[in-house]
Structure 1
C-alpha cells in the first residue's frame, strides 16, 4: 500500500495503514467533544496531519532510542510517529507530553486501541524532570525561542530537536538567536510550500 508521506510516496505495511485508518476514525469520533484538530482540516487529515507528522519521523536519526513529543494535542506528530515506529523502529520509546487532561485521555485511549506503546505525561512541560531524549519534537506549539528552552531542558547530550515551521521561520530564527546559541538545518516541508522542518542541536543560552 502506498500513501503520501515524506519524500514523495513511501511504502508502508497494511497493518500501518489499518492503524492510521483507525486513528482517523477515533479523531472523527472525539473531535466534536474535544476539538483535537480544526474542523476544516478533518477532510485533509492524511496530508494536513498524517503526512506532515510522518516527515518529522523520517528526519530523525535512525539511532535514536528515546523520543519526546511536546504538546502532543491530538497526537501530531507523536501518535503518528508511534504508529510508524511500530513497524520501522520497534525499539524506539516515545513519550507524549500533553497538559490538557482531556487530550491526554484521548491519547491514552487511542494508543491502546491502536496497539502502540507510548508513555503519556499529562503535565506541563516546564514542570517535568529532564526527559533526556535523543529527539524532541513539537508541532504548532510555541515560537522557536520558547521551543529551544524546552529542548535544552529535555534533550540528551548530542540530541536533536525537530520543529516544523511556516513562512515566519526567518523572523523566529532572528528572535531566537538573540537568546540562544544553536546549530540548525532547514529541511523543506513536503506538505507546506512555505514551510520547513528545523533540525536543531547544540542548544545553549547566550
Structure 2
C-alpha cells in the first residue's frame, strides 16, 4: 500500500491525521474528547461498540468516522443523513467536525437516548434525531448519505434511494466485502460508485458514489 493510503496504526496517528486533514478548532477537539469519553462510559451500560475496540477508540471509531467527512467537504452540500447511526458513528463525529446539518436515523430507543444526551451536552444544535425505522422517516433531499453498519448494500441503497438527488454523495464503508457487494448491484447503480481504501483497516474499503438512485420497483428483483 502506498504512503498515500497508509493505515493509521496508533491512537496518536489517528489524532494527527484528523488534525492534518480536518483541522479541528480547539472547541471541536474538546467536543471530540468529550464524545469519546461519553461513548466509553455509555458502553458500560449498553453495547454500543465492541469492548475489544475501546483501547483503539480513536482509530477504530473516531478516525474511522472522520475519514468519511474527508470525502465530502463541499460547502453548502446540505443535509447529511446517517443511517443506522447507533452511537453516532459517523454522524456525531461529522456534526462535531463540521457545520453540516445532520440527521441521525436510529430505531433503538436507548441508543437514541444516548444520541440526544450527546447532542445536548455538546450543544450540537445542527443535529436532528429520527427515532424510527428508515421506512418511516419522512423523505427529504440529502446532500450526503452515510451508513457505517446498517444493512446489506443492495437493501441499504434501495431503502435510502428516495433521499437521493443528482448531487447526493454516498459514503458507505463496507469492510472487506465492498467490491463483492458492489458487483452484485444493478449496473445502473454500480456506475455511480467507486472504491476507496479505508484509513483504519488495510483490507477494508469505502464505496463512494454520487447521484440520484431510483428505488427498485416493488415486486421485482
Do both share a fold (TM > 0.5)? yes
Whether the aligned pair in 2 keeps the contact of 1:130 and 1:155 (CA below 8 Å) is no
- Aligned equivalents of 1:184 and 1:108: distance in 2? 33
Whether the aligned pair in 2 keeps the contact of 1:66 and 1:94 (CA below 8 Å) is yes
- Aligned equivalents of 2:130 and 2:83: distance in 1? 10
Encode CA deviations 1:61-119: one digit per residue, 9 max, x unaligned. 5131211101000110000000001xxxx2x2111010001000100001111121200
Matching residue of 2:147: 138
Q: Considering fraction of residues, name the structure with more strand.
A: 1
Structure 1: 4+ residue segments shifted above 3 A:
4-11, 178-182
| Pair 136,19 (structure 1): closer, same or farther in 2 beyond 3 Å | same
- Aligned equivalents of 1:169 and 1:48: distance in 2? 18
Matching residue of 1:66: 79
Matching residue of 1:41: 53
Q: Which moved more, 1:8-17 or 1:36-45?
A: 8-17
Whether the aligned pair in 1 keeps the contact of 2:21 and 2:70 (CA below 8 Å) is no
Q: Measure how far apart 1:142 and its partner are.
A: 1.3
| Pair 61,17 (structure 1): closer, same or farther in 2 beyond 3 Å | closer
| Pair 171,6 (structure 1): closer, same or farther in 2 beyond 3 Å | farther
1:25 to 37, 59, 72: 37
Whether the aligned pair in 2 keeps the contact of 1:70 and 1:98 (CA below 8 Å) is yes
Q: Measure how far apart 1:58 and its partner are.
A: 1.2
| Pair 65,175 (structure 1): closer, same or farther in 2 beyond 3 Å | same
Matched, 1:189 2:198: yes
Q: Which moved more, 1:17-26 or 1:195-204?
A: 195-204
Give structure 2 stretches of 5+ with no counterpart.
Answer: 1-11, 217-221
| Pair 114,73 (structure 1): closer, same or farther in 2 beyond 3 Å | same
Matched, 1:204 2:214: yes
Q: What's the C-alpha RMSD, in Å, of the aligned pairs? A: 2.2
Q: What is the correspondence of 1:45-60 to structure 2 with a 5 Å cutoff?
A: 45-60=57-72
- Aligned equivalents of 1:174 and 1:148: distance in 2? 14
Whether the aligned pair in 2 keeps the contact of 1:187 and 1:199 (CA below 8 Å) is yes
Q: Measure how far apart 1:156 and its partner are.
A: 3.0
Query: TM-score scaled by structure 1?
Result: 0.89
- Aligned equivalents of 1:99 and 1:134: distance in 2? 22
Q: Measure how far apart 1:151 and its partner are.
A: 3.0
- Aligned equivalents of 1:81 and 1:114: distance in 2? 13
Encode CA deviations 1:15-51: one digit per residue, 9 max, x unaligned. 2221111111111221122111111111111010000
Q: Measure how far apart 1:169 and its partner are.
A: 1.2
